[in-house]
Amino acid sequence: MTDLRVRAPETTAAELDAVLEAAVAAAPAFAATRPADRADQLRQAADALDAEGPRLVPVAERESHLPTARLTGELTRTTFQLRLFAQVLEDGAYLEATLDPADPGWGMGPRPDLRRVLQPLGPVAIWAASNFPFAFSVAGGDTASALAAGAPVVLVAHPGHPELSAATAAVLGDALAAAGAPEGAFALVGGLDAGRRLVQDPRITAAAFTGSLHGGRALFDLAQQRPAPIPFYAEMGSVNPVVVTHAAAEQRPDEIAEGFVASLTLGVGQFCTKPGVLLVPAGSGLQARIAGRLGRVGAAPMLNERIAEGYGAMLGTLAAHPAVTVLAGPDRAAPDPLPTLLGTTAAALLDDPRGLTQEVFGPTGLVVTYRGRDELFAAVRAFEGQLTATIQGVDDDPDAPALLPLLTARAGRVLWNGWPTGVSVTWAMQHGGPYPATTNATTTSVGASAIDRWLRPVTYQGVPDALLPEPLQDANPWGLPRRVDGVPQPAPERV
């Protein structure tokens, strides 16, 4: 039974074809499953993954070099998000069920009976990330939101943790099957060739990716160049600028230095939300404070050799930039680097914004000193799209009111006196942002709204009640909140 569901690490063309045929065959039944039943499938998958945690975490530890506590926490996050999507399904608002009864007096002319609901697009492809072997991998956020939407998932394993991928896929696939999900609702595949074939296959209706700008853009381009293009949601990271205002630098320098170092070095700097650039007032002394603290952080292993090599190359390029000075490090001792701190000025950043705002995936930060508000604001305007942007300020900070909209225009999440690592999974979370943070700023890969990316609207005109899908029938058998004749109606009390 697991034959069709676990095809990593190197899926052949014939195997991929079988996986896709099974996904296509599963799509109608999976789409027609009651949300309450899909919620049950997600919860059973979460329970199974929790139960298998003691077996899965050591595999993750061996393959990713991440510590046990982090991986245990990440598995908690992973099963939490499966359960959050179960709540999203039970809530039902995600279907956007909208009913306009026929109205002969409608202002632009007689209106027929029109009823609109969101439906899954069909089979989707999802690429696992290296740096979250659970939460952005086989049973991760994109998988959870797609399964919640009723879209069969073909998951491309990350080569950095092949054994964990296969083990997780087996647990997830068995749990889904035991809970009644159709055969073909989930499959694991692997290999670069399979990925390239997948994104171009007409049976795939949408795709998501978390990883590098290079890899994400290449797959995005393939998806857009198809005879029939598909939505391709790539999350490609960013430098997540943090602005320290004059007032904050004066009032809380130690707290800021401590917070920055902790966020910068968390997970060996291997987060797409790592605060890669810190803008501080010139002469504030923050650089030295940070460098001092950073020197007390020990070396730690990176995820794998390939990432350590990539880190060394990116750090080397940035450290060699003529406008960059080295404040601590640089250390490229693969695979266990010490954190590195680099420095430059806002004037230099304005001269070469592209060169100085490139992401370095690993424990390196760049401190940018600015002279006065005008230079700070100009520097902020030089940033491209970001997943996050942060202000470190104080109460009634004179710089904050003008700074906040500038940062908001460039980011998907804006923080005040916080640090961007540690993305909570909630109803209100947005994990995305303007290009190059992602290829599509209008959706999120984390939080309840992520279900939207796998859905499309369909309107039924004049269709008899007995033929309508349940969300649109007069009796509202699923107990959904709906908009009727323009007026929002809450979900009826459920028995």
Report the site for its own copies in 10-69 (rule: CB under 8 A).
28
| Shortest Cβ 371–its own copies spacing (Å) | 25
* Token code pair at residue 315: 């750090």
Of the residues 283, 371, 461, 477, which one makes contact with its own copies according to CB under 8 A: 461
**Using rule CB under 8 A, residue 473 touches its own copies:** no
**Using rule CB under 8 A, residue 152 touches its own copies:** no
* Token code pair at residue 479: 């107990």
Of the residues 104, 105, 298, 401, which one makes contact with its own copies according to CB under 8 A: 401
Q: Calculate the alpha carbon distances from 36 to 32, 87, 220 in Å.
A: 11, 9, 34
Q: Which is nearer to its own copies, 296 or 395 (CB)?
A: 395
- Give exposure, 90-109, as e/b (b: 16+ Cβ within 10 Å): bbbebbbbbbbeeeeeeeee
CB atoms within 10 A of CB 281: 21
Q: Which is nearer to its own copies, 265 or 430 (CB)?
A: 430
**Using rule CB under 8 A, residue 442 touches its own copies:** yes
Q: Report d(CA 93, CA 86) in Å as an integer.
A: 13
Contact 481, 92 (CB under 8 A): yes
| Shortest Cβ 439–its own copies spacing (Å) | 6
Exposure of 452 in the CB half-sphere (CA atoms within 13 A): 16
Q: Report d(CA 286, CA 245) in Å as an integer.
A: 12
Site for its own copies in 186-215 (CB under 8 A): none
CA angle, 85 as apex, 92 and 490 as ends, to 5°?
Answer: 20
Q: Which is nearer to its own copies, 65 or 77 (CB)?
A: 77
Q: Which is nearer to its own copies, 224 or 325 (CB)?
A: 224
Q: Which is nearer to its own copies, 18 or 400 (CB)?
A: 400
Helix spans in 364-444 (H): 372-381, 400-408
First-to-last C-alpha distance (Å) of the chain: 38
User: Which has the closest alpha carbon to 354: 321, 377, 311, 309?
Assistant: 321
Q: Contact region for its own copies (CB under 8 A) — 61-69, 160-168, 314-322, 408-416?
A: 408-416
Residues with Cβ within 8 Å of residue 296, at least 6 apart in sequence: none
- Contact flags string 114-143 toward its own copies, x per CB under 8 A: xxx--x-xx---------------------
| Shortest Cβ 225–its own copies spacing (Å) | 8
Q: Which is nearer to its own copies, 198 or 455 (CB)?
A: 455
| Shortest Cβ 446–its own copies spacing (Å) | 10
Count the site residues for its own copies by CB under 8 A.
89
Site for its own copies in 359-388 (CB under 8 A): 384-385
Q: Pairing relation of β-strands 114-120 and 455-461?
A: antiparallel
Strand partners, 189: 156
Q: Which is nearer to its own copies, 331 or 452 (CB)?
A: 452
Q: Contact region for its own copies (CB under 8 A) — 102-110, 179-187, 336-344, 365-373?
A: 102-110
| Shortest Cβ 291–its own copies spacing (Å) | 27
Q: Contact region for its own copies (CB under 8 A) — 138-146, 221-229, 292-300, 336-344?
A: 221-229
Contact 489, 181 (CB under 8 A): no
Handedness of CA 128, 130, 135, 136 (dihedral sign): negative
Of the residues 58, 283, 488, 492, which one makes contact with its own copies according to CB under 8 A: 488
Site for its own copies in 72-91 (CB under 8 A): 73, 76-77, 80-81, 83, 87, 91
Exposure of 15 in the CB half-sphere (CA atoms within 13 A): 20
**Dihedral, 183, 186, 192, 193 alpha carbons, nearest 10:** 20
Catalytic (active-site) positions: 235, 272
CB atoms within 10 A of CB 39: 21
| Shortest Cβ 44–its own copies spacing (Å) | 17
| Shortest Cβ 314–its own copies spacing (Å) | 20
Of the residues 12, 424, 474, 477, which one makes contact with its own copies according to CB under 8 A: 424
Secondary element (H or E) of residue 126: strand 124-127
Q: Which is nearer to its own copies, 214 or 456 (CB)?
A: 456
| Shortest Cβ 281–its own copies spacing (Å) | 20
**Using rule CB under 8 A, residue 414 touches its own copies:** yes
Q: Report d(CA 300, CA 307) in Å as an integer.
A: 13
CB atoms within 10 A of CB 427: 11
**Using rule CB under 8 A, residue 273 touches its own copies:** no
**Using rule CB under 8 A, residue 99 touches its own copies:** yes
Site for its own copies in 325-354 (CB under 8 A): none
